[in-house]
Amino acid sequence: MKKELLIKEKQAKRTNPLAHVFDDFIDFCQSKSLFMLHYCTGCGAIELPPAMTSRFDMERLGIQPMVTPRQADILLVTGYVSVKTLKRVILTYEQMQAPKYVIGICSCTVNGGMYWQSYATAKKLNDYMPVDVYIAGCMPRPEAVLEGLQRLKENIKNDRKQQKGSAWKEYFANYDTYLGNQQHLFGDDWQTPVDIIAEAKLYGLEGEGTYGKNTEKLAKVQQPLLPQEMKL
Amino acid sequence: MNLLDQFFILIAVALLSITVLRNFRINDKMAPLWYGLMVVMLVRMAAVAYDGATLTSAFNIEILGFNMHWQFNALSWFFAIITVVAALASAIFMSGDWGRQYRELYEGQGGNYGLLQLALILNVASMLLLLASGDLLSLFIGWEFVSWASFLMMVLMPSKTAKKAAVKYVVYAMFGAMALLAALAIIYSNSVSFSGSLEFEQITQVFAGMDKGPQFSLALLFFIAFAIKMGLLPFHLWQAVAYAETPGPGAAFLGAISSRMGLFAMIIVIIQFIGLGHLQGMSIGLPFINMQTLLAWIAALTTIIPTYIALQQHDAKRLLAWHGVGQGGYMLLGLIMFDSIGSAGGLMHVLNHASYQAALFLTVVAVVYRTGTSDLNKLGGLVTQMPLSFLVMLIGIIGLAGLPPMNGFVSKWMVYRSLLLNGEPLLFVAAVLGTLGTILSVYKLIHNTFLGQLRVEHQNIREVPWSMMVPMLGLSAIVFITGFMPGLILPWIASVQETIGLPVIIHHLGGIEYAKGGLDMIWVSGILFYGFGVGALIFYFLGSKAKRVHQYDNYAGGHFLSADVKYHYSNNFYPGLMHLIGDWYRGSFKWMEQVIVSALSFVSKLFENMYRSRQPVMLLVIVVVVALFSIYKNTAGVSS
Amino acid sequence: MNDLNNKLNDILSRVNGIKITHKRNRRVRVDVPADSLTTLLELIKGQASYVHLSAITCVDWIKDNEFELVYHVWSYEENCLISAHTRIDRDEAKFVSVYDLYKPADFFERDIYEMYGVFFIGSPRMEKFILTEWHGMPPMRKDFDSEAYVQETFNWTEYNPDWLQELTDQGGGIAIKPEDIRLSGCLHNMATHRQRDKLKATQKVGKGWKS
Amino acid sequence: MNGLHILSELLLMPLIAFVVGLMMVLMMRKISARIQRRIGPPFFQPIYDIVKLYGKDTQISHGLIHDIGIIMAVGGYIGAEILLPVPGMEGIADKGGIITLSYFLMIPSLGMALGVGQCANPNGSIGISRALTSMLAYDVPFIIVVFGAAWHYQSTSLVGMIEYQQMNSWGIVEMPFLATAGLFALQGMLGKQPFEIYIAPAEIATGPMVEMSGKYMGGLFVMQTFQLYTAGVLYASLFLGGGESWLSLLPKAFLVVAIPMSIAFMFPRYKTEDVIRILWKWPVMLALIGLAFIL
Amino acid sequence: MRPENYQAVQLGESNEYEIFIGPNHPGIEGNYALKLVLDGDIVVKGTTDAGYLHRGFEKLMEGRLWIQNLAIVPRICVPDPAPMEVSYSLAVEEIMGIEAPIRAQWIRVMQLELSRVAAHLFTFGGHAATTGMYTPMYWGVADRDLVLDLFEDFTGGRVYSIYNIPGGVRRELPNGFLEKLSNLLDYLESRQNDYDNLLFTNQIFVQRAKGVGILSKEDALDYGVTGPNLRACGLAFDVRRDDPYLVYDQLDFDIPTQQAGDAWARILVRRDELFQSIRILRQVIEKLPTIKGPIRTPIPNPLSWNVRAGEAYARVESSKGELAYYVVSDGGDKPYRVHVRGPSSMHAVQTLEYLAKGARLEDVAQIMFSLDACPPEVDR
């Protein structure tokens, strides 16, 4: 209900009919061109080379690998995430530029999978970052990976229309919750060099859940990692 | 009393005033004024620059039957205006906060600010004296003055390296002076064609009347004398260190113009009076290598080797000073082509180089003023703190690298064009190699100083005060404007060419005209700025705004960057190139310099020991024996 | 082969308190007291070409309050593997490093230090290695309960789709929720008839639902 | 040449370069796909990529110079495109010459270098240091080739060169050695294997691109289209007689670009010093031989 | 990280700087990190940072039944999982005192060798890609996929087959399988020429790989290097021949060696090994139809299976080197202790650090890939 209202509000704001055409076009291009960053957190990484290379050829779907999080659109978390890795995955996710999507490959990202009683792996990836698509399986075949990516592309295409595929906005809007989960696992003085709150402010992505008691905790320990501005 | 006399009087008054007042604060404000007045005087003499007239001073001296007189022509004026403007910029720069800091830092340790002011005016005065010289003798006198004035400037820095470098310079300079004296002696002793005066024209006559052998040695002596000052190839080792170790603005002044005095003398003697015909006539051993080719290759190698030495420096001042040596090569290379475009390029490069070299030196001094170091490995990320200095350095390095739209491009373009027209592919490649090396090394300069990781200790520094900023901005404005409209300068160049008897360039406001491909900088810059404009439009109107991030928010392979990580790549910036050429030139030039140094010290030790030897009688005996032997030898020669 | 064995036995018998077991072809087990282990390794490396340290294993015998260290050493010349077993006190978990003899020991000793807390005197890098961001007790010790830790620390995904709900309503579905059981009990329970029946029921209903 | 003509040239030349460049990017990716036994991207993929990058919702910048670097990189190439004569649009191109053009081509490198420098990422700085070193490497044969061509046609104006070739015969016929050396230099200029050291993902995470996101990366993609176009058209103008019309120019340009592309995917990359060594050895030797023939 | 990491710190006087290769970096294998301290482009010091893939395998195995553990053992090394299963099964069999039937042993050999072929095809591509040559990766991975198809055919799993159980293998080969295998081998051999032309005789690649990461025989022995990396240093040691398990003593194959010990030698050894594996597989194809019999020795109900007390150290030759499982049973239904000795644990930490020191930045990734280090074996 609330979501619909929000959409209506947004639609009311944008009266220019061309704006929609433009937005749709960008959505279309976004769905057609996906740069992915595969973070080889686990076994699932082994099925990505087949999906990328000659046999399944991901590039024909407009998906190509990229090297750094800055350029990437999709973060492929390929398998169980150990706690040590999870910190890096979160950093990587925060360093990616929106719209950004997370695909959890392998059952381990859903619920710990085979390693459910391991002390070293985190169990639920979407506690720590919004996940767009899970591809379950141990490990999912390349076909399944491609299927999942296709599903994601569909979501992106209808992004602005149906508010699908915008899970990344959740991270800004509910930052407090995600930060709380992270703090629960890594300790209260956990922080990354990426200033999510400032980013949310700048791009107007704040929601009700952006601030809360966890962000207050963060503010207490956070050294101002403000960018160096030009001084005259 | 003509304008030149007034000018000399002005210089004398300025010299006197600064000498007397040098230790008073008032001098800080006065000194720039004097240089400003000099600029005004030179502007009043603009007729010299545009019409090619000659102003002769009423003042002259008769020594040993030789008349010494002084005059100003287009060439002198051209060099003089560069000198005075560079001095003005330096004087303004050091008049304010810089001088205060210098006093605080060095006054106790032997540095003397008043002496620095004095050294500057002495340098200017002696250079102007040299530029105004009307005959060989006054040239020689001026030459000596310039050498000693530079020496005074160089020893001011209270550091061992500075002293050592200055002494090294003096040794070189004395050697050069000896060579010049020897050349004068040859002219004087050449009884066949010597007519009893040391006017410049005399050289042509003497030269024409000589055999090949003495001709060659005369040319060589002149060349050595001037090349040492200019830092041309075999004599390039003294200059960079000496200039780099000079106190701040002094370095800027010396780096901008001082060594160009060598070029000035070379233009007068070798280009104007010996001339193309003689140079081409002198072949050395092989038939296809004549003096012109040799000089051209010396010039070309001078562009390459010091540039690649500069590439290896990790001290900003030394890097720039080495470039100063290298850029001299372009000037000679252009001039030695003896055609309109090339020589114009060479001459114009003097001005261009002076402008951006001074700007760059001043920027580096500004950085040193704020951070206390010019070590490129200890800087980084200053652009956010000192954005205007960055801008000046950016303009400066674009000029130094010779990229459009700055003035360095214009003069280098002319040199290239001339090499193309003369069909000199290898020289052309050599010149391009020099330019490419320059691009590499200036990027290192700006990257290591202003870009990259900002160090913790520099996080609170600020832009330099306006007294320092104004000369820097002014110089960079010159760099840009003369690049955008080289036609402002080209008339001077044309009259210089006329004065020294070279073909004259056809110019307009935007550049030069030439049948098969000229240059119009207004169009070139226009197209470039149009491109930047479109690029900026694309950048700012497409896409969302960007978020500024802290430098720890950076890709490190997924790793968390923290404050204790040195994440700035500065040392050994071009390792790939160094793997290839590093050993070669490091080894060979170190070796060469060591040979020179040890030979010099050997000779000096030898003489020292002779003087201090316990048995002066032995010395006397040796001298007598040698004298007797030579008398015997000569008489024997006569009798037989 | 026999000659070799004899020679090896000669060398081994020089070590105090040694017990030699020939387990099978190419496998020799020796048990030595802790203080003569380095002597043994020096001997077999120096005199019998056992240059390849294949692994060092630590076994936590919590009942005996002892750690067992097993050094697996291989000879490329004799093609034989000696497993040297020794036991050290569990409370005072310290032992001598064999890094001077075998460089790979660095890896295994770091690993054991981290996983069991056995400190190796003289090992070059007795510091965090794999568990750089772990602050609890050494996890491989038998008294560390991984499952309890997991239950305390992590959340689980709720997965309750309609079709599963339907099954549960009919008495099938996932009968035991993860938080109700601990693995140790799980399979035994499952093995009981009651569970099996439930399981069968699930399968049946599951099939029916699918078609 | 009236104002309208100039204006249309200023607007159209970069636009055409962009569109043709996009096709060249597509061709490059298709060639690589065929060599790697794949299908490759769909027809519009390059444009999707660029629109996507410019359409990013958030992006980061490390400071003003980071922005200016991208502007300089794209703007420098736009300027260079205008100086490249193409059929029907030679008015402004005549204002520059081959020397000016080759200097224009260094401006994007410098711009990118500045932008990357501000990112304070050593991966980027190493990439730039390698890129500048390889520029030093390929510019030497390139400059000899340029010298040879200018000497041969007795002109530094590209328009004049094209006219000469259309009157007489193509440069590649008259100067085969120089043309071959030019191809070598082209491979280096395009930064394709074996001269790809400044990208090197396995060592320095794609070097200069390391901190580029959104429209910054988009700018680099646009730059790539210009780069390919420039390489193709410049070589065609120097040695393949330019084009009487677009129909004859474009096939030449595509052919020129296709050659390095086909070679690239069969080779690993040289180390930096080997790049210099190889580029200063064979192409320079070829070019000097070629020069000896025409001087 | 933590706030204290962002406290202002004065940087040292040294001109060296740091680069992080990994954990998320194309130049690293899997999820592993290498911190390099560089001077120019020379590595002054390389420090590995492991633990990103740590799951506490050995702990997990202590909490699971003997038969359950079969499901997780292959996950220790993803590119080459078969040796893990076989090694674990062999260890359990040794404690139990049983032996798999002869047919099962032949099938296991087939599985092991197929896995080796797949792993090596994967490695070539990775190694070539670190030098900027991507085509071999595209080809190699696609050809590896054909091997995986066969795995799927006879085990049901593409990558993790979980095909072995203590006492034998899980199921009989499907009909016509050997024919398919034979066809695949023909195909792979026909590709030999292409790979040689593209990669192994590519002069630039040879130039890049030669002299990189040189490991002398003494150093290799010192650092516990095994497998192809050891054979590239000139020591012809292979667990299959020198400590034979299964039916390897009945098979005829060579042990390829090289003397140089550099990256080039290592990739050549792998190339030759690939064809030796094909040779073994041909022998299997010939021999397997003649061996009839069960594929499994009966074992007690696996859900309540108490393996008798004892311990065993089972070694096999995986594509990376010597792989060993040390299994201790106290007579319970779960292992008391399982220790995995992955070959890469020796290669990826000490050897890599040793080789990285003084190497060029350009070569670091190549050194890592040429060692064919598999980080999960380090972290477990």
* CA A53/CA A58 separation, integer angstroms: 7
Q: Is the pLDDT of residue B637 over 60?
A: no
Nearest neighbour of A33 by CB, restricted to D36, D52, D211: D52
Alpha helices (runs of H) in B158-256, residue ranges in sequence order: 160-189, 200-208, 212-230, 239-244, 248-253
User: Looking at CA atoms only, how far is residue E123 from chain A in angstroms?
Assistant: 12
Question: Looking at chain D from residue 250 to 289, which residues have their Cβ under 8 Å from any Cβ of chain B?
Answer: 271-273, 275-277, 288
Assess whether chains A and C touch, using the rule of 3 or more C-beta pairs within 8 angstroms.
Answer: yes
Selected residue of E55, E57, E148, E194 to mutate for chain A interface (largest A Cβ count, 10 A): E55
| Residue B271: how many other CB atoms lie within 10 Å | 23
Confidence of residue C200 (pLDDT cuts 50, 70, 90): very low
Q: How confident is the model at residue D26 (pLDDT cuts 50, 70, 90)?
A: very high
Q: What is the mean pLDDT of chain C?
A: 76
Say if the Cβ atoms of D274 and E17 lie within 8 Å: no
Indicate if C66 and C164 belong to the same structural domain: no
Which of E258, E252, E267, E268 has its CA nearest to residue E235? Answer: E258
Helix, strand, or coil (residue C57): strand
A118 close contact with C: CB closer than 8 A? yes
ipTM of the complex: 0.86
Q: Which residue has the higher pLDDT, C10 or D19?
A: D19
Domain stops at, among C116, C144, C172: C144
Residue of E139, E198, E361 lying closest to D203 (CB–CB): E361
Contacting residues of A for E122, CB less than 8 Å apart: 49
Q: End-to-end alpha-carbon separation of chain A, Å?
A: 51
Do residues B469 and B463 make contact, with C-beta atoms less than 8 angstroms apart? Answer: yes
| pLDDT for the residue B341 | 86
Q: What is the mean pLDDT of residues B48-71?
A: 77
> Residue B44, Cβ neighbours under 10 Å: how many?
12
Whether the bond into E23 is cis, omega within 30 of 0? yes
Check if the beta carbon of residue B347 is closer than 8 Å to that of residue B416: no
pLDDT band at B609, cuts 50/70/90?
Answer: low
- Percent of chain C surpassing pLDDT 70: 77
The string of pLDDT tens digits covering residues A209-220 is 888 888 888 877
At residue B615, the pLDDT reads: 61
Nearest to C156 among A84, A123, A184 (CB): A123
Q: Which of E56, E137, E160 sits opposite A120 (nearest CB)?
A: E56
Token couple for B257: 């113009």
Give pLDDT tens digits for D171-203: 788 888 888 898 888 888 888 888 888 888 778
Domain with C123 in it:
2-144
**Average pLDDT value for chain E:** 86
> Judged by CB atoms within 8 Å, which residues 7-26 of E form the interface with B?
7-12, 14-25
Lowest-confidence pick of B287-301, C161-175, E336-350: C161-175
D-chain CB neighbours of E206 within 8 Å are none
Position A120 scores a pLDDT of: 85
**Secondary structure (3-state) at D54:** helix
Q: D128 with D198: CB under 8 angstroms?
A: yes
pLDDT at E9 over 80: no
> What is the reported pLDDT for A165?
53
Q: Tell me if D92 and B535 make a contact (CB, 8 A cut-off).
A: no
Give C69's strand partners: C58, C86
- Chain E residues in contact with D202 by the CB 8 A cut-off are 26-27, 129-132, 365-366
Residues in E closer than 8 angstroms to D36, CB to CB, are 134-135, 138-139
Bigger pLDDT: C167 vs E276: E276
CA distance A164 to chain E (A): 28
pLDDT at C194 over 50: no
A 32-91 residues with CB < 8 A to D: 32-33, 53-54, 57, 59-60, 62, 64, 67-68, 70-71, 73
Let me know: does B489 contact B509? Beta carbons within 8 Å. Answer: no
Joined tokens for residue D79: 């300027």
Residues of A in contact with B454 (CB under 8 A): 228
Is pLDDT at C210 greater than 50 in this prediction?
no
The nearest alpha carbon in chain B to D9 belongs to B527
Among A29, A60, A71, beta carbon nearest to D41:
A60
Q: Is C16 exposed, middle or buried (0-12, 13-18, 19+ CB in 10 A)?
A: exposed
Regarding whether C93 and C184 lie in a shared domain, the answer is no
The verdict on C51 and C138 lying in the same domain is yes
Per-residue confidence (pLDDT) for residue C202, from 0 to 100: 46
Helix (H, G, I), strand (E, B), or coil: what is residue E316? strand
- A228 CB neighbours in chain D (<8 A) are 63
* Residues C119 and C162 placed together within one structural domain of the fold: no
Q: Where are the domains of chain E?
A: 55-342
Specify the higher pLDDT residue, C190 or B574. B574
Measured distance CA(E27)–CA(D208) in Å, rounded: 16
Render pLDDT for C4-62 as a digit per residue (tens, 0 to 9).
667 777 777 777 777 888 778 888 888 888 888 888 888 888 888 888 888 899 988 88
Residue of B nearest to D202 (CA): B557
How far is it, in rounded angstroms, from Cα A151 to Cα C5?
65
Closest CA to B131 of B253, B261, B266, B263: B261
Report the DSSP pairing between strands E322-329 and E310-317.
Answer: antiparallel
> Per the structure, how many domains does chain C have?
2
- Please tell me the distance from the alpha carbon of residue B366 to that of residue E122, in angstroms, as a whole number: 56
pLDDT at position E6 is 66
Sequence ranges of the domains in chain A: 2-165, 174-221
Distance CA C130, CA C138 (A): 11
Asked if A185 has any chain C CB less than 8 Å from its own CB, the reply is yes
* C150, part of any domain: no
E: neighbours with 3+ CB pairs under 8 Å? A, B, C, D
Q: Which are the contacts of D61, defined by CB distance < 8 A and separation ≥ 6?
A: B546, B547, B548, B549, D67, D216
Nearest by CB to E55, which of A37, A49, A82?
A82
Q: What is the pLDDT of residues A181-198, one digit of tens each?
A: 888 888 888 888 888 888
Return the closest-CA partner of residue E119 out of A49, A105, A57, D266. A49
* Tokens 């309050």 found at: C65
**pLDDT at position A5:** 47
Q: Does E349 touch chain C (CB under 8 A)?
A: yes
Cα–Cα dist E134/C81, whole Å: 42
What distance in Å separates the CA atoms of residue B352 and residue B358, rounded to the nearest whole number? 10
pLDDT tens by residue, B406-426? 888 888 888 888 888 888 888
Q: Which residues of C touch E324 (CB under 8 A)?
A: 54-55, 72
With an 8 Å Cβ cutoff, are A54 and E2 in contact?
no
B424 three-class SS:
coil
Question: Strand pairing of D60-61 and C119-121?
Answer: unpaired
Burial of D223 (0-12, 13-18, 19+ CB in 10 A): buried
Per CB-CB distance under 8 Å, the chain D contacts of B447 are 113, 117, 125, 128
Query: Residue B558's closest CA among E36, A94, A187?
Result: A94
Q: Which residues contact A189 (CB under 8 A, 6 or more apart)?
A: A221, E2, E3
Using an 8 Å CB-CB cutoff, list residues of chain B that contact chain E: 377, 455-457, 459, 552, 556-560, 562-573, 575-576, 578
Pairs across A and E, CB distance < 8 A: 108
Which of B105-114, B619-628, E273-282 is the most confident on average? E273-282
The answer to whether E59 faces chain C, any CB pair under 8 Å, is yes
What dotted CATH number matches A2-165?
Answer: 3.40.50.12280
Instruction: Quote the minimal CA–CA distance from A30 to chain B in Å.
Output: 13
What are the distances in angstroms from CA E16 to CA E41, E42, E355? 10, 10, 19
Give partners of C (≥3 CB pairs < 8 A).
A, E
pLDDT value of position C187: 47
Task: Give 10-residue mean pLDDT values along chain A (232 residues).
Answer: 48 62 82 86 84 86 87 87 88 87 86 82 86 85 88 80 71 87 84 84 83 82 70 64
Cβ-defined contact of C159 to A87 (cutoff 8 Å): no
Domain membership flag for residue C10: yes
Interval D249-275: pLDDT, tens:
888 889 999 988 888 888 888 888 888
Residue D225 binned pLDDT confidence (cut-offs 50, 70, 90)? very high
DSSP state of B547: E
Q: How many CB atoms lie within 10 A of CB E45?
A: 15
pLDDT of residue A21: 80
Name the architecture of domain E55-342. Orthogonal Bundle (1.10)
pLDDT, greater one: A137 or D23: D23
Residues C174 and C139 in one domain: no
Q: Which helix (H) or strand (E) holds C177?
A: none
User: How many other β-carbons are positioned within 10 Å of the β-carbon of residue B436?
Assistant: 23
Mean pLDDT over the full length of chain B: 82
Instruction: Name the E residues in 277-296 with CB < 8 Å from any D CB.
Output: none
Are A122 and C150 within 8 A, CB to CB? no
**pLDDT band, residue C199 (cuts 50/70/90):** very low
Could you state, in order of their start, the residue ranges of all structural domains in chain D?
Answer: 3-294
User: Taking CB atoms and an 8 Å cut-off, how many pairs form between chains A and D?
Assistant: 89
